[in-house]
Every structure is written in C-alpha cells, then in structure tokens.
Structure 1
C-alpha cells in the first residue's frame, strides 16, 4: 500500500517528563557560538521504524526506551535541562534535571502498510511525532521529545525531536545510540559524551577572516522565496548506476569528485531549472560540511555539539542552467574546500558580531549528507531499524529549502541514496524532466515521469 493513501489512528497517553535515573549536577552550561546561531534555533525530527522481533517476546519497547532514556540522561544531563537566553542572545542550558518529554502511543497499523521501501514523506507523521502544546519552543521548553508507538504487528516506531542548538546529526545519533545501549542493559555508553563547547567559541577580539556569503543579507525583491501552497514532496533514489551516469556527464578531471559533490551539483542545477528564476538572479546551494576533523587536533571523540559549516556556492541562474553540469560541480567542490579550522573560527566570530544571524534563505538550497550519521544503526534491543533518519525535509518551518542524503535500499535490493525533495507542483514536474535529461544525456525528456521517482505525497 502506498503511504500517500495510508490512514491510521494513533492513541497517545498523556505526555510525561522522563528525568535522569540518578542525581545530576545543577549548573549552567553555555552553548558554543556555532550552536546558538539563528540558523539552528529550531527542532530537528528523526524517525526510526523497527520490525517485530520474536526473541524480544515479553519485552515492551515503550518501557525499554523509557528506561534507556532515563539512564542515558545521567550521562547527557544537559538534555534534561532548559535553554535560557542571556546577554547578546547567548544561549545557556540550565541543567535542572526537569527531564525530556516522552509519549507512549499505539497505532492500528502494521509496519508493512507503510510500503516496502521506507523513506520520507511518511504518512501520519504529525501523529507519530506529536507536537505537544507548549513543548516546541527554543527557550524554556523540553530539549528532547520522544514518542514510541507500538504497531499491531509487534513492531514499533520511535520518533524524536531535538532542539538543534544542542547537537548536530552526529551528536544526536551519538545520544540515541547511548539510549539504545542503556535500553539493552549496558552500564555506560561506549562513547563518553564530551561537552567542551568553548572549543567553538568566538575569539577575543573576534576577527571575521572570510566573506561568508552563506550569511549575506539578501532582499527577496522578486518574490523568489518558494511559496508554501501547492507543495509536492517526492523522494528520488540514486543507486550506483545513476551516480555513474551522472559522473560520465562531467569532464574527466572532475570525475574524482565525491558522490555528495556530484549529486549536490546535479540537484542544484535541476532545481534551478525547475524554479525558472530570472536569468540574472543569484542562486545558492549550501553544502553542509562536518568540521570535526578539520581542527588540529580534531575535536574529541564524544563531542556532541554542532560542529558543521554552511559553505555556499553561488552563481546566476543563467550560468547554472546554460553551462554543463561540470560548471556547478566545480563551484560545489570549491565551496566545500573552504571549510577549515580557521573558517570555523571566522564563523563563530561572525555570529557574535552580527547578532547570530540566520543563513540566507532567499534563492537558497541546502543539502546535507546523513548517510554516515548512524541513525540506521541504533539498536534498542530489537535490532537495527528498517529505516532510521530524518523524518522530513526542510529547515524548521521552511519547506522546500533543504534535502537530505539518506541511505536506502530500493525494491530490487540495491543500496543507494534517497533524497527527499519538496517543490511547488509545476516546478516538481520540471525538476523530474531536468533530472531525466541528465540521466539520459539528452536535451529533451521523452517522458515527464522518470523511473527513479519512488514515492510521492
């Protein structure tokens, strides 16, 4: 059954606060100057689907996760606190042990009804990750919300929402892995959490050493922020053959690029064509880069704060659309290469000198690779999830701006990457045609419905 037509009922118990299983320090911990930028002041949703496991007969996944969460919060006790804001919009965690929000639920649906290939968009997401009234604020609200929903087949769904200022994908996955270990009876996490947010604080005095066009203030003079009505969500699968075909379409000296680089360039070009901006409009793509290994020495294992950059490639719509794909690819590679330790220091300095501004949204597309984040490896006792990763695309309340690269397997059992895309309906049709042109090496699409579109809602 296609998830687009799937309807089911979720029955939830009253939300509760899960506190750390043992006493934890009462203290105030400052976030880094990378953590508390405006770009990260929103909730990030993650979802995991688990099959029925006969060996776990008699064990309740709700109780297991609840206990694992309480024990993990002993080690990650800032997650049980609340954010406060002080001078200069600086965010500080009051580690008061109030707890994470937890919801126990049941749904009258089987796992197989979600389809044989699980990927965003997911039917009933608002019921599987319920927005408890008053819980979604950045300040003075629970930093973590977890909902565990039992399915009639014996499987379950775990959906989690985290205040992004606390962690990036790597840090959140580390925390979820710890919850899984605690749920399985492990006495301490295999990776010990490290706070040390001062490692990514601004210098004194601050010195902005790079242009940082990702934070440019750009007026939306031509109405080019994507409209919120008539939006279509679809996911696209890229296996080895699709990636190889795209790679052959660029000059030989660029073919050594990473899979992330070439897919990002391809998506950016097709999206620009689909949106039909004025030729002189400046279009941007932000390539999320994990900077943990860019430092000397690298950030310590266990660091679970935000440690990534938003480097941006930019060009006019005319140049992106009229030049071969290699043109966009070269821009993406150069943007990624900009990220160094000095670059991260410069971003932190920019935040404290500009009021912690948001990255540019106008005519911007953001791409993030979570294939190595580890959401698909978290085991609460029922094995690895059938799907583990972002619950949806978008950045905060802004749909259509972001896409994630998520590890997936298609109906033929081939491993690859699935990429959720959100666009207005007419633009989505043009996007599909542009992508098919690249995959066929032709200028005119023979069909508006390419075979690599694997889901729609």
Structure 2
C-alpha cells in the first residue's frame, strides 16, 4: 500500500522575543570541512495532542536562548575567509504535515520504510540553500495521534550532543517549563585553535555504490559479550560487532590494514575552559581510528577486536592534547575515505532518546547520516519496548551484502 503525506504549512519560526544581532565566530572544529554537511533523522513518537502546534510554539520560545539556530551561515564580513553565524533572527524552517494512516499501519516506521524518508523530512523552499539554514524541522501527524519529527541540521553548528541539548530544551518548554534547565553556552572561542596546515590539493572522494542494511542485536547477546569481556579483562566495553562482520564480508587481502573510525566526545578534556555547568553545544569531538590487518580482525575473537578499539579510545587524551598544541603533521579531521575504512557512530549516547515533548519519549530515532563517499555503521536502539541494539549500515557494496548479513546474523 502507498500512504500519502500532505504538507499543510511551511514557514520560518523566529524567536518570540528580540534576540541579539551581529556575527558569531565558530570554533576551529566547527569550521572543519568534514562537518559542512546536513544530518537527517526521523524521531517517532507514539502519541501527541496537536504536536505541530505545541512544538512550534516551544521552538519559538527556545530560540530566544538558542538564537544562533535562528541565524544563517555567512562569510566573515572582515574578509577572513571563515564561515560565521549571522544572528539575523530569521528563524528555523518549519513544516507541518498530515498523513492518511496510523503509525501502526506503517509498522511504526520500522525497516524497510513504507513511507519514503523524504516525505517526512522538511522540504526547503527552492530559493533556500540547505547549507545556509542551520536547522529545518517537519512535524507529521498520523491518524490516531502518533507523530514524527523530521530534522535536518548542518553539522557545523552542533555535534550530536549539542543537537540533543537543543531539542531537549524545546521539549522542556513544550512540557510547560518557563526556561530550559540547561543554560546554553556559545563559548566557541575557548575551543583549541591550533595552527593551520598549508592547504593541500583538492580532496579526492571515492565513488562507492553502498547499500543500506539494518540488523537488530539481541540484548542477551550484547550482555553476554560484555560479561565475557569484563570477566577476561576486568573492564567494560561497547558494542562494535559490525566492524568484524564487515571485515570478514569484504574479504580483503589479509595483509591490508582495515580501519574503524569514530568521533569521541572531548568535553571532559576541556573542563578547565568550558562552562562548569555544561551547556556547550558546538562541535566538541575528535576522530579516533583503530587499525589492524584484515587477517587479524577476520580471525580474531570478538573480545580481541573490542580490545583493539578500546586501546584506540585510550589514546584520546594524548592525541587530543597534541592536536590542541599544534603537535601534528596531518590534520586528523581530514579523513581518508577508502573501502577499507568503516566509520561508526553511536546515536544512543547523545540524549536524543530522552526528548519528551509532553507525551513520552520517542519510540525510536532513525538517522540518515549517510554520505555515499564513506562506509558507515550507526548504532541505535530498536523501537521501545524492545531491548538490544539496532545497527543501521551503509557500508558494503552489492557483491558483499549477503556475506555481511550472514556474518551479522551470528551476532543477533
């Protein structure tokens, strides 16, 4: 069956009070080219009463505190060549929509999606450049009271933790709080600003034909692996089954190095300069790479793979401190996009699953943080009340998909 989504309203939502005007500088990390792209996601809620109206009004109030989100990206007026945020107060692009079905009719948007994600994400006006509008939102109301919040935001303005902080602020106001419980902090000037490397040649991007796949890992399996790792090492671990499964599936030469890359939160490493009460919502993440030979990863016990990744994580404080001091030869944020590299991001630790506009937390969050130039695995959660982990991947080409799914079945 096909279900219709009808957009009933499109407009900008501006702050409900006067906000500061002017231009704000971004941090060194914000300005990294790797973050100049849009991240799309769907947030599925079981029930709401006039959710579009409630969220729209709360958004307008939250933008008083988070007024940079109502601005636009602009070039440095002094000719420095750096992108800044022009605090214009123009607002967030906001779309209201309705469907002719219930969430149950579309299996709560479980995979594969019955409704295309583009129908549930905000469509900008033709004259808008999506990379200039910091945030766009669409609230789609379903028959029976369910609703979906579709978000598109430019990574330059915030990392995942920062976006979740903003959405939780909107949600708190929607629930009746006069102000967000966390005071937002711009503070981009305190982020390390190491010397720039001389510009290299233009980046070379590969042309992969990656396919999507979603696999649910049971809570029993995850707990078993964590308990086994704790027993053997005395340490706790995270879930990275997808890395070994992909390595086995793509079957590279055993001597070829494979890489698992991920961005680690560095707020705890900047406690001395960031506001002690929290509230910083800019990009505060650093890339970490775990590297080993394809043969080693493919033949290793999963416990050994976890140890390789943990060792990479343990290097974070030293690597970040060296980068902050300018002690590096290559920009760590200039990522290498090869088929032997897998980028992993964990959406369960950002705070997006805590957003409650007044009728409960989301059933689940569906990210579309996919770029065709990189193989990526996103760790999420299956729809509540299911337990376990949902792994959403865009990481293998057609010839390797069947083998990848068979490997992942062994972890389910």
Is the TM value for this pair above 0.5?
Answer: yes
CA distance in 1, matches of 2:106, 2:35: 31
2:368 maps to what in 1?
A: 392
Unaligned runs of 5+ in 1: 1-5, 208-214, 440-451, 453-457
The 1:339/1:245 distance shift into structure 2, 3 A limit, reads: same
2:337 maps to what in 1?
A: 361
CA distance in 2, matches of 1:129, 1:358: 29
**Does 1:242 pair with 2:232?**
no
Post-superposition offset of 1:186: 2.1
CA distance in 1, matches of 2:405, 2:135: 37
The 1:317/1:102 distance shift into structure 2, 3 A limit, reads: same
CA distance in 2, matches of 1:17, 1:417: 36
Secondary structure at the counterpart of residue 415 of structure 1: coil
CA distance in 2, matches of 1:16, 1:351: 47
1:277 maps to what in 2?
A: 252
Post-superposition offset of 1:96: 1.0
**Does 1:416 pair with 2:393?**
no
Post-superposition offset of 1:245: 4.2
CA distance in 2, matches of 1:252, 1:184: 44
CA distance in 2, matches of 1:176, 1:39: 23
- Relative to structure 2, which stretch is displaced further, 372-381 or 110-119? 110-119
Post-superposition offset of 1:350: 6.4
In the superposition, the TM-score normalised over structure 1's length comes to 0.79
CA deviation profile, 1:345-377 (whole Å, cap 9, x unmatched): 544566999789532221221112221322122
Secondary structure at the counterpart of residue 268 of structure 2: helix
The 1:181/1:252 distance shift into structure 2, 3 A limit, reads: closer
Contact 1:146–1:161 under 8 Å retained in 2 = yes
CA distance in 1, matches of 2:32, 2:162: 17
Post-superposition offset of 1:201: 3.0
Post-superposition offset of 1:7: 2.8
Number of aligned residue pairs: 404
Post-superposition offset of 1:31: 0.9
Post-superposition offset of 1:333: 0.8
The 1:302/1:15 distance shift into structure 2, 3 A limit, reads: same
Q: How does 1:34-433 map to 2 (within 5 A)?
A: 34-53=29-48, 56=49, 60-86=50-76, 89-115=81-107, 118=110, 123-132=115-124, 133-138=126-131, 141-203=132-194, 227-228=208-209, 231-247=210-226, 253-254=232-233, 256-258=235-237, 260=238, 263-264=239-240, 266-297=241-272, 299-300=274-275, 301-340=278-317, 343-347=319-323, 358-362=334-338, 363-387=340-364, 389-394=365-370, 397-398=371-372, 401-409=375-383, 413-422=385-394, 423-433=396-406
The 1:254/1:400 distance shift into structure 2, 3 A limit, reads: farther
Contact 1:61–1:156 under 8 Å retained in 2 = yes
CA RMSD of aligned residues (A): 3.2
The 1:227/1:189 distance shift into structure 2, 3 A limit, reads: same
CA deviation profile, 1:356-408 (whole Å, cap 9, x unmatched): 95322212211122213221221222222222x343242xx327622222233
